[in-house]
Amino acid sequence: MPLSEYPLRLAVIIGSVRKDRFGPTVATWLMTRVEGRDGLETDVIDLADLQLPADLGGGGDTAGFLKRIDRADAFIVVTPEYNHGYPGGLKTAIDTGRDEWKAKPVAFVSYGGTAGGLRSVEQLRPVFAELQAVTVRSAVSLHWADSLFDERGRMLDPERPESAVDTMLRQLEWWGHVLRAGRGRGDCPG
Ligand SMILES: Cc1cc2nc3c(=O)[nH]c(=O)nc-3n(C[C@H](O)[C@H](O)[C@H](O)COP(=O)(O)O)c2cc1C
């Protein structure tokens, strides 16, 4: 039984912004799984399309970005790994908001070389905890990601990664509905 008849508003955040990045390939594949599910209304936020000042002083696309984060009930962060960490632009985007993230669940799809972006995810969890967001246990990590897709961006051996996405989405949806109901009953303290 669905936890709510109202669709969950899911924002998918593409965290890499560099030229010739692989992130959109991963995000496009992820969206094929997300769009096949009932009860989700999605907004893809590609940080490469936005100007978010690193001094956190507002301006640029700050107001529009915060409106989209505020509107969302749940997030999936798509992140690579750069030198054992996540991209600086992603940190700026996260720090641009505060209460917009609060009492909402965050799931991760990471990718990279040998570690599949797992180190980025482990570093992102305490960042979101500080914002009182709840990170979902099951993450999806793609090791040597560029070898997993053909030149048209199709996943070569999709069974396991797709099953990992589905597990992650089920957890995200559960938290998304529960926390939305909780937010409706009053502000999370702090
Ligand atoms: C500056 C830089 C540092 C990287 N450091 C790591 C790393 O520490 N561990 C890893 O597994 N992959 C690392 N990689 C590989 C990237 O995770 C991989 O190229 C990924 O596709 C980058 O995402 P993007 O193309 O969307 O920017 C690094 C790549 C770059 C460009």
| Assigned token pair, 31 | 């969206």
Say which DSSP state 82 is in: B
Question: What was the pLDDT predicted at 133?
Answer: 98
Structurally, how many domains does the chain consist of? 1
**75 near 108, Cβ under 8 Å?**
no
| Assigned token pair, 144 | 């040597």
Question: What was the pLDDT predicted at 2?
Answer: 61
Calculate how far, in angstroms, residue 72's C-alpha sits from the geometric centre of ligand 1: 28
Q: Is residue 189 part of a domain?
A: no
Q: Is residue 3 part of a domain?
A: no
Q: Tell me which residues have their CB closer than 6 angstroms to ligand 1.
A: 16, 18, 21-23, 80-84, 111-115, 145
Report CA-CA distances (Å) from 86 to 33, 127, 171: 24, 11, 23
Calculate how far, in angstroms, residue 145's C-alpha sits from the geometric centre of ligand 1: 10
Q: Is residue 23 part of a domain?
A: yes
Residues 6+ apart with CB under 8 A from 3: 173, 174, 177, 178, 181
Calculate how far, in angstroms, residue 104's C-alpha sits from the geometric centre of ligand 1: 28
What sign does the dihedral 165-7-134-11 (CA atoms) show?
positive
CATH number (domain holding residue 74): 3.40.50.360
Question: What was the pLDDT predicted at 43?
Answer: 98
Question: What was the pLDDT predicted at 189?
Answer: 93
Domain of 44, in residue numbers: 8-184
Q: What share of the chain is helix, strand, coil (3-state, %, to 5)?
A: 40, 20, 40
Per-residue pLDDT of the chain (190 residues; tens, 9 = 90+): 567 789 999 999 999 999 999 999 999 999 999 998 999 999 999 999 999 999 999 999 999 999 999 999 999 999 999 999 999 999 999 999 999 999 999 999 999 999 999 999 999 999 999 999 999 999 999 999 999 999 999 999 999 999 999 999 999 999 999 999 999 999 999 8
Place of tokens 């969206």: 31
Cβ density class 143-174: b for 16+ within 10 Å, e for less: eebeebbeeeeebeeeeebbebbeebbebbbe
